[in-house]
């Protein structure tokens, strides 16, 4: 079962995360913190019209949360906001075991499907995606560019 | 006297396999202890034979239930060296016990000129209630410094007491993260010289070492039943009689009254004035059985067994180059917190679980201490009488599996 969780590609993204670091000129940025385990993420998106030009993240956490964030930022580039939201729904259903990975059609992200066998770790895989949900909501509202990062009690 | 060497047989939950057939290695007793058969049976037997409400009925079962409940109170008093069983208040657990002292003893007495002394190694349950008192009264919270090895800087404690404003010192007897055993007796002596009362969080000490309130010299002692092999939902606040008598009840209702009028009531005596409503009767009976079980092992023997285990664990883990251990090496209890370099504690715990080894990973309800350690979380292995050196070996083997998956010296960018 552990092999299903700790796939090579997950460990690779954990050890060498892609798109990690601040994003200058972000159009939306949100900071989330899971107080239960101390995992945290700031996810920043830059858009051109309706298309995500770049997604970058900062933060720290377990291999699942970090690999999920790293793969997600890779997958988001070039997607429209509507496509990103649709991806978010498929990914969420996949890690909850409601959608088979081959049906989820999420490319590299399908490696995270094994998380569904570890119910307590599902929230780790979803942290970055919850941040995406909030970023997308800001952009869809056409609200102020860049929400203030941080939340009460959140670790810096 | 029962032998620790063979007591493992007494714990049904330990004899099972997990994670596809691996024998369970339970190293999470600091979170909650497993229960011996005698405790499980005492609770079941109470429901099967004696179940009735206490202190209310004249019928046979009510008399038996009341006697069983009060016998448990006497057992607990004896266990902690309290001469007066009336000073043993049954509550839900350590958290409720500390909240009771904070709300009922401290809050009515404290004002903006007063100070409450805490330590950064407190469990949230011995920190947040005092923050609430401080917010309600304007009293200030002051913290004893920690030394690099995770013990208290007693010189900084002395300096805090010099302010002349300290009214309460609330300290854990044993850290649930670092294992540090604090010198409560000396701290209480010094606190009393400046007129402060001393509240001891004994959740991690009463189950694991001889504790005698007369020797400790504290004013309040709080602990939980479930960490000492008893049921959940029962805990104890012990307090000095004159202090308990001076405190208003926190909850009003049945049991805690003497006479009720339409507009006012008089209250029952201690401990009953703090036990409003139907108490956890079967749980108290279970706790009484847990006390008897621990007495049959001998608390000196319990302590010695855990000392041997923790020394062995520190030795074995200390030989693993990428394992970092937190807390003092000497004079400590049976919990070992550590991290594996480059691997998040939750990943470690998931892999250990798949090897059959149950540990805790997280902040252990001690977020300020995590900040002091400068880590988001730790892995914690904790021991009890039923653990063996082979359990430590299993932990080390499982940690080698962590290394096999994550690679040597894995370090994320």
CATH code of residue A119: 3.90.1010.10
Per-residue pLDDT at A9 exceeds 80: yes
Domain membership of residue B170 (yes or no) is: yes
| Boundary residue ending a domain (B281, B296, B311) | B296
**Structural domain boundaries enclosing B211:** 40-296
B275 shares a domain with B305: no
Tell me if B234 sits within 8 A of B281, measured CB to CB. no
Return the axis-axis angle of helices A8-15 and A63-76, rounded to nearest 10°.
90
B225, B289 contact by CB (below 8 A): no
d(CA B388, CA B395): 11
| List of chain A residues whose C-beta atoms are within 8 Å of the C-beta of residue B410 | 11, 15
Is B344–A17 a contact, with Cβ atoms under 8 angstroms apart?
no
Does B399 lie in the same domain as B315?
yes
Owning domain of residue A126: 2-141
Single residue among B248, B263, B296 that ends a domain in this structure: B296
B374 within some domain: yes
Q: Give the tens place of pLDDT for each residue, B192-244.
A: 999 999 999 999 999 999 999 999 999 999 999 999 999 999 999 999 999 99
Peptide bond preceding B271: is omega within 30 degrees of 0, i.e. cis?
A: yes
Cα–Cα distance, A54 to A100 (Å, whole number): 28
Confidence of residue B409 (pLDDT cuts 50, 70, 90): low
Q: Token pair for residue A89?
A: 């729904």
Domain CATH number, residue B274: 3.40.640.10
> What per-residue confidence (pLDDT) applies to B411?
55
B272 and B309 fall within a common domain: no
Residue finishing a domain among B255, B277, B296: B296
CB distance B407–A11 less than 8 Å?
yes
Query: Does A150 reside within a domain?
Result: no
Picking from B18, B342, B346 by the largest number of A CB atoms within 10 A of its own CB, the best residue to mutate is: B346
The alpha carbon of residue A143 is apart from the nearest alpha carbon of chain B, in Å, by 33
CATH number of domain containing B322: 3.90.1150.10
Cβ within 8 Å, pair B346-A121: yes
Q: Are residues B280 and B363 located together in one domain of the fold?
A: no
pLDDT for residue A57: 98
B131 with B236, same domain? yes
C-alpha triplet A16, A22, A23: angle, nearest 5°: 115
Q: Which residue of A has its CA nearest to B401?
A: A2
Q: Is A2 in Cβ contact with B406 (below 8 Å)?
A: no
Instruction: Specify if B270 maps to a domain.
Output: yes
| Chain A touched by B402 (CB under 8 Å) | no
Rounded to 5 degrees, φ, ψ at B305 are -60, -45
Sheet holding B140-143, edge to edge: B88-91, B235-239, B220-224, B197-201, B166-172, B115-118, B140-143
Q: Find the mean pLDDT for residues B327-345.
A: 95
Residue B138 forms part of a structural domain: yes
On whether any CB of chain A is under 8 Å from the CB of B344, the answer is yes
pLDDT attached to residue B54: 94
In a domain? residue B240: yes
pLDDT (average), residues B143-156: 97
Chain B residues whose beta carbon lies within 8 Å of the beta carbon of residue A1: 19-20, 354
Chain A's closest residue to B412, CA to CA, is: A15
Whether B14 is covered by a domain: the verdict is: no
Task: Kindly tell me the sign of the dihedral angle through the C-alpha atoms of B337, B342, B345, B351.
Answer: negative
Residues B266 and B315 in one domain: no
Residue tagged 């914690």 (tokens): B380
Same domain, B128 and B258: yes
Same domain, B330 and B283: no
Same domain, B71 and B189: yes
Per the structure, the count of domains in chain A is 1
Q: How far is B91 from chain A (nearest CA, A)?
A: 26
In the prediction, which pLDDT does A4 show? 86
Residues B335 and B351 in one domain: yes
Q: Is residue B309 part of a domain?
A: yes
Whether residue B30 is contained in a domain is answered as no
Per CB-CB distance under 8 Å, the chain B contacts of A6 are 347, 351, 405-406
- What is the complex's ipTM, to 2 decimals? 0.86
Alpha helices in B46-127 (DSSP H): 60-79, 94-100, 107-109
What is the number of domains present in chain B?
2
Query: Is residue A153 situated within a structural domain?
Result: no
Which of A15, A41, A156 should be substituted to probe chain B, the one whose Cβ sees the most B Cβ atoms within 10 Å? A15
Active site amino acids of B = 365
């Amino acid at each position: 079962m552990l092999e299903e969780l700790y796939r090579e590609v997950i460990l690779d993204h954990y050890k060498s995360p892609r798109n990690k670091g601040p994003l200058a000129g972000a159009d939306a940025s949100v900071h989330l913190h899971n107080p239960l385990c101390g995992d945290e993420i700031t996810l920043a998106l830059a858009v051109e019209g309706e298309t995500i030009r770049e997604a970058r993240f900062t933060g720290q956490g377990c291999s699942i949360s970090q690999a999920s964030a790293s793969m997600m930022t890779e997958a988001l580039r070039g997607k429209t906001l509507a496509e990103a939201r649709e991806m978010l729904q498929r990914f969420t259903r996949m890690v909850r075991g409601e959608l088979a990975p081959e049906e989820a059609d999420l490319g590299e992200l399908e490696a995270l499907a094994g998380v569904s066998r570890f119910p307590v770790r599902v929230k780790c895989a979803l942290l970055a995606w919850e941040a995406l949900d909030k970023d997308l909501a800001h952009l869809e509202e056409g609200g102020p560019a860049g929400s203030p990062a941080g939340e009460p009690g959140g670790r810096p | 006297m029962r032998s620790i060497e063979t007591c493992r047989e007494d714990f049904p939950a330990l004899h099972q396999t997990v994670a596809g057939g691996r024998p369970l290695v339970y190293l999470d007793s600091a979170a909650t202890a497993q229960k011996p058969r005698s405790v499980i049976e005492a609770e079941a037997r109470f429901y099967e034979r004696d179940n009735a409400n206490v202190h209310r009925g004249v019928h046979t079962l009510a008399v038996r239930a009341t006697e069983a409940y009060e016998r448990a109170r006497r057992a607990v008093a004896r266990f902690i060296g309290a001469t007066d069983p009336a000073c043993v208040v049954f509550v839900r657990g350590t958290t409720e016990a500390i909240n009771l002292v904070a709300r009922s003893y401290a809050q009515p007495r404290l004002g903006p000129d007063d100070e409450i002394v805490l330590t950064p190694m407190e469990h949230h349950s011995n920190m947040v209630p005092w923050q609430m008192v401080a917010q309600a009264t304007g009293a200030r919270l002051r913290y004893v410094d920690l030394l690099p090895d995770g013990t208290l800087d007693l010189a900084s404690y002395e300096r805090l007491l010099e302010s002349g404003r300290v009214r309460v010192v609330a300290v854990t007897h044993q850290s649930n993260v670092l294992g540090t055993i604090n010198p409560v007796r000396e701290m209480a002596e010094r606190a009393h010289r400046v007129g402060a009362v001393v509240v001891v969080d004994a959740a991690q000490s009463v189950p694991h070492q001889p504790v005698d309130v007369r020797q400790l010299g504290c004013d309040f002692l709080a602990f939980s039943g479930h960490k000492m092999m008893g049921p959940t939902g029962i805990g104890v606040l012990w307090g000095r009689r004159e202090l308990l008598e001076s405190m208003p009840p926190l909850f009003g209702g049945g049991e805690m009254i003497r006479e009720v009028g339409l507009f006012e009531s008089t209250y029952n005596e201690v401990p009953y004035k703090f036990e409003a409503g139907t108490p956890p009767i079967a749980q108290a009976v279970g706790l009484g059985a847990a006390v008897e079980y621990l007495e049959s092992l001998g608390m000196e023997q319990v302590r010695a067994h855990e000392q041997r285990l923790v020394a062995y664990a520190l030795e074995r883990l200390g030989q693993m180059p990428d394992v970092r251990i937190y807390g003092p090496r000497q004079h400590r209890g049976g919990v070992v917190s550590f991290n594996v370099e480059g691997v998040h504690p939750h990943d470690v715990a998931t892999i250990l679980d798949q090897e059959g080894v149950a540990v805790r990973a997280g902040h252990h309800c001690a977020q300020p201490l995590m900040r002091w350690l400068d880590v988001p979380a730790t892995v914690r292995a904790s021991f009890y009488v039923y653990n063996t050196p082979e359990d430590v070996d299993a932990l080390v083997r499982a940690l080698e599996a962590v290394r096999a998956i994550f690679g040597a010296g894995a370090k994320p960018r």
